[in-house]
Amino acid sequence: MNKIKNIFGILAVLILLSFLSGCGVSTNKLMRTGSLTPNDIRLNMTIDDFQYLGDAEVTAEYSKYFGFITVFKLINGKEVARRNSSSISMEGNGNFSVPLMLNSKLRRALFDVHIKYPSADFLVPVYIITEKQGMFLGSVVKQKMKVKAYKVKEKQ
């Protein structure tokens, strides 16, 4: 009986020490720091600050099978070279209520606009039209997108 009391006593001391081992002395020092960079940067530009270069329409035609297999047919009316892939990343929020994120097919089609207007600083999407023809276990999709190309005017 005495041995059991000693074992419980030792266990109680070990449990107490294990709880207290997490309680240490910690020192936190709070300092006020100031940044030399502004929180917001504002650039006021009007439509007069941009030069309109032109607009273009890009298309992508592809087939989807079983919902996840995609086979490219045509990009901008040309057959797709599966080994060579050039694309443009075009993302952003702007004044849209949802973020603008294009799928990989339209990003590949937009590369031709970059070749047509190499001096363009940015492209503005006007609309995207998606035509989808349902088939058994698949679909044929044709997407059409109109973009406008702009360049920032040089100050003289």
| pLDDT one-digit tens code per residue, 64-97 | 998 888 888 899 888 887 787 788 877 666 555 5
Q: Which of 26-30, 50-54, 70-74, 106-110 has the lowest mean pLDDT?
A: 26-30
Closest by CA position to 71, among listed 1, 156, 139 = 139
73 located within any domain: yes
Sequence-separated (6 or more) residues with CB below 8 Å from residue 126: 55, 145, 146, 147, 148
Closest by CA position to 123, among listed 46, 50, 74 = 50
Highest mean pLDDT among 8-17, 93-102, 120-129, 141-150: 141-150
4 located within any domain: no
102 located within any domain: yes
- Check residue 51 and give its pLDDT: 92
Which residue range(s) make up the domain with 123? Answer: 50-152
For 114-153, b/e burial (b = at least 16 CB within 10 A) is eeebeebeebebeeeeeeeeeeeeeeebebbbebbbbeee
Closest by CA position to 129, among listed 142, 113, 110 = 142
Rg (CA), the chain: 31
Closest by CA position to 142, among listed 150, 134, 151, 133 = 133
What are φ and ψ of residue 77, in 5° steps?
80, 5
- Check residue 12 and give its pLDDT: 83
121 located within any domain: yes
Highest mean pLDDT among 6-15, 25-34, 101-110, 128-137: 128-137
Beta-carbon-side half-sphere exposure of residue 152 (alpha carbons within 13 Å):
7
Per the prediction, the chain carries an average pLDDT of: 81
118 located within any domain: yes
**Does residue 39 or residue 137 have the better pLDDT?**
137
Per-residue pLDDT of 48-58, as tens digits, reads 899 999 999 99
The answer to whether residue 26 scores a pLDDT higher than 60 is no
- The count of domains in the chain is 1
Write down the pTM of the prediction. 0.63
- Check residue 135 and give its pLDDT: 87
